[in-house]
Every structure is written in C-alpha cells, then in structure tokens.
Structure 1
C-alpha cells in the first residue's frame, strides 16, 4: 500500500478555497503575532514570538510528514500556470505557502493562551487534557474544511474518517501541541537569557516528529504494508493503538508540568519567583 492513486494526483485544486485558506490563515497569524508581541513586551520575554516563529520555520519539513501520512496537496492540471500558491516541492509533493501559517495556528496557539499559566505552575493534569481536547477539535475543524473542499487530502486507507479527514491525525496533532507546549515551557523555566529560548527551534521538530513518527509509528506502518500483508483490520488496530499511545503520552507529559512558582522541581531545579525577570 502507500501508492498514490492516479485520480488523487490528477484531482483539481479548488482555487477559491485555496485563496480562502491562504489569506484567512495569514490574517489569523498576523493577529497571533501582534498578540504575541504585546505579551512579549508586557512580560519581558521573547517566548511567545519565538514559539510562533519556531512553528512556522518547522513547516519546511512538512514534506516528510506528507510522505509518511499519505497527504497530498492538490495542484492545477488544466494548464493554468502558477495557479497554486507554492514556494517549493519536495518528494514530489508541491507545498502551498499556507502550511507555514497553518503550523503557527495549529501548533503555537497553546503557548499563547496557556504558556504563562503553565510557566507559573497553575495548570494541572485535567487542564492539560482540556488543552489536548481543544486542540484536537481545532485540528479537526481546520482540516475537515481543507480535505472537504478540494484543497488537499489524506489518500491512505485510513479508518475512522470524519468527512474525508482521519480522526487519528487530529489526535496526533493535539498530542504534538501538548508535548511542544510542555517542553517549550520547561525550557523557558530553565534558561536565564533570551538567547536560551532560541532552543525552541530545536524543541519543535523534536516533539513534532517524536509525536507523529514515534507515537504514530503503528498507523504509518499499517498504512504502508505491502499488498500481501495489508489488512484493513490492522489499520483499525493501529489506529486504536495510536490513539491509546497519545492518551498515555499526554498523561506522561502531565508529570512534567511545572510546579507553582517558589517551589522546587522534581529534578532539583529551582522554580522562578513571581517577581523574577523572565528571560530578560
């Protein structure tokens, strides 16, 4: 399995919806960056802006994800030149430029609305699962629209689809958000200068591919078994196993949630005081 059907490659891109995805997503990102900048100034830390930029830069690795999860961005085949808003192609998959805005929206938003409270140790496991659920819902809404309006598709033999969108993808994306946010905040707690937060550019791909290629390994393998070994039952089993692993990962991440300010972390690292300058 894993071979792309010819009808997928030849499927026409909906130009109107491509424009909606492109302009709407970048408008949302502009608002997010404005909010992040204001938060950075008020709290004297570049954390929020760097989290957004780290997510956007990481989108250059999107082709790796596309190949693993059988994702295909529709192109135009009717002779219209330059119709797709693309900036590069890798592994034969043409990349629309809205992947960068999509990454920022889907993966960095939790740093903005939950990062500070997590930093101060005011979130508990139940809050982390609420964030996980909210991010899964956001992913489903975003991608159900994209896969249902002829912008892109997941062409693999997935189970548990919502419209044309595989639910397991949304669960993995929500898990990635949780892992990235927790690790990013832990880095924030431990660095003493703003330069230390540049490490977010490494944190994002570590959690992105750790979640999707690590936790998501069962579904990736099940989707790409040879024709003699492929089984829809295995895809179902791998889907359910991947979702269970995501639950375990989020629960495990909750064990690494920062403690309240003024207390000590389990590893002995001193937590910052409320009146301390945050990565100034």
Structure 2
C-alpha cells in the first residue's frame, strides 16, 4: 500500500502492485451473466408478490437497491476495496476515480434485496428478536462466502491493513453487512405495516442507502478510522472491530424494536397482516 500526502497527513491508497493485478475476464463474465440473470428472476418474483399483495412494495425493494448501488464508491474508499481493471473491466460508471464494474448493481440486488424480498412479509406478520438475529447470522455467512469467492477469483481485492483477515477477506465486514442486510428487511416490514398508499412506499428508495450508511459507516466508524490512520495499528484495528460488531448488533436491535413497536400499534388498530405461506428460506429460518 502506498500513501498519498495530504494537508492533514497520509491517505492510504492501493499500491502499484495492486493496480497491476489482473482481472479474471472469465469470472467477470460469469459474475455479469449470473448476477444479472438472478436480478431479472428476482424482479419477476417481486412482480408476482406485488400482484398477490396488490402492493408495489416488493418491486420497489428491488428497484431501490438497484438504484442505491451507486453508493458503492463511498464504501470502496473507506473499506479499501479495489476493483481489478487492468484495462479489461466492463465499467458501469466511475465516481471518485473508481471504475465500478457492470455487475455491481445486480450484486447489490442479489446480496441486499433478495433477503428483504424473502423476509419482509413474514417479519411484518410477527417475528422474534432471536429469529432476526439468527437471520443476521445466516447473512453474515452468505456475505462472507460471496466476498471470499469474489476476492479469491480475481474480481476485486481489499488492500492495505485490515483486521480479521481470512483467505484475504476481512471477516469483520460480514458483521457490518449482515446487520444492514437484516436491518433493511426489518425496515421493509415496517414500511409494509405503516404505508397506506403506494406513494408512501417510495420511501424505501431513501431507506436503503440510509440504512446502508447507518451500519456500514455508523457502526463501522471506529474500525474505519483505525484503518485509515497514517500508521495503522493491527492490535487497535482488532479491538475496534470488536467495538464495531457490538455497535452493529446494537443498531440491528434498535431497528428490530422499531418493528416491534410498529406491530403493537398495528394490533391496536387491527391492521396486522396474516403471515404468508412459508418459503423454503423461511422454513430454514424456522429450523434455525
């Protein structure tokens, strides 16, 4: 890692070796075709749900996450994520000097919108805090698996100093992501309970990026600051990662209690929805 001099000190940047890493064009093709195909399938499923519920919320969830994917460069800068390019990247857009691959948008949809679409209705109908946190554990695992495969398939890297690395992936990130993924599903359940008009449901386009920053920056800030100091201390980063995980859990607890309060109000008003038929994913959650 090299460091660019600024007026307030040194800024961690990718090293020349990182810039020289080759992008796997085979994996780029697989990721592009697979993730865009999955996104189309999820959108069709969301349309089916919306017809059943006579509500556009499921469709809005998918579209909101797709639109919100343009927040990725902010994540890249703070978390030291570098998309491999070497002149062969299929680029969707560039911001902050960081080219974003064409598959970043569908990756967001699959990783962040899919759990919300699968879970928000059952969460709205009634869920325990324990079940919410069990789903957070599931999404921590799936996020770590997805990113570990991507990092080790020459699609992108996390450069510089970072705590809790396993197979080149900083595992602490999966806890930030699982809190925001599960928290987003919880907030979508809140929207389902309180929105009385389709126009009200458009708030999900703000809720997704706001919740994303709430956990991945709000909870993660102690670790991110430790990582971006002129001379990062590994013991300090490890300690701050523990703090960040605690803050992420607290954030998810707070979001969950917002849902519980909304459900109590819905019961008083007689507007609590019936639980939908359980999907395979929800049956897995019940077993957990």
2: CA distance, partners of 1:254 / 1:273 = 16
The TM-score normalised by the length of structure 1 is 0.89
> Which of these residues, 3, 8, 19, is aligned with residue 9 of structure 1?
19
RMSD over equivalenced CA pairs, Å: 1.9
C-alpha distance in structure 1 between counterparts of 2:270 and 2:55, whole Å? 16
Pairs within 5 Å for 1:104-115: 104-115=109-120
Give 1:169 shift: 1.1
**Greater fraction helix:** 2
Which of 75, 95, 103 is residue 98 of structure 1 equivalent to?
103
The equivalent residue for 1:72 is 82
Q: Aligned to 1:2, what secondary structure does the other structure show?
A: strand
Question: How many angstroms apart in 2 are the aligned matches of 1:203 and 1:156?
Answer: 31
CA contact (8 A) 1:26 1:98 kept: yes
Distance 1:273-1:255 versus aligned 2 partners, 3 A rule: closer
Q: So what's the TM-score if we normalise by structure 2?
A: 0.86
- C-alpha change, 1:92 and 1:126, in structure 2 (3 Å) is same
2 CA distance for matches of 1:240 and 1:110?
25
1:278 matched residue in structure 2 = none
Which residue of 1 is the match for residue 132 of structure 2? 128
Q: 1:69·1:156 contact (CA, 8 Å) conserved in 2? A: no
Deviations 1:147-197 (A, max 9, x none): 001100111311212211111111111111122222222122112111111
Q: Separation in 2 of the partners of 1:45 and 1:216?
A: 35
Structure 1: gaps (5+ residues): 78-82, 276-280
CA contact (8 A) 1:260 1:271 kept: no
Distance 1:40 1:105, change over 3 A: same
Q: Match of 1:37?
A: 47
Correspondence for 2:154: 150
1:9 Cα deviation after fit: 1.2
Partner SS state of residue 264, structure 1 = helix
Separation (CA, whole Å) in 2 of partners of 1:273 and 1:71: 42
Q: Does residue 219 of structure 1 match 2:223?
A: yes
For residues 76-107 of structure 1, what are the alpha-carbon distances to aligned partners after superposition, in whole Å with 9 as ceiling and x for unaligned? 24xxxxx3111211112110011110111111
CA displacement 1:49-95 (0-9 Å, x = unmatched): 11111011011121111101100000024xxxxx3111211112110
Query: Compared with structure 1, are the counterparts of its residues 179 and 269 closer, same or farther at alpha carbon in structure 2 (3 Å cutoff)?
Result: farther
Deviation >4 Å, runs of 4+:
none
Check if 1:272 corresponds to 2:277.
Answer: no
Give unpaired runs (5+ residues) of structure 2: 1-10, 275-288
Find 1:245's aligned residue among 247, 254, 268.
247
- How far apart, in 2, do the equivalents of 1:186 and 1:96 lie? 33
Distance in 2 separating the partners of 1:269 and 1:199: 24
1:195 and 2:199 matched: yes
Q: 1:18 aligns with which of 12, 15, 28?
A: 28
Note if contact 1:119-1:258 (Cα within 8 Å) is conserved in structure 2: no
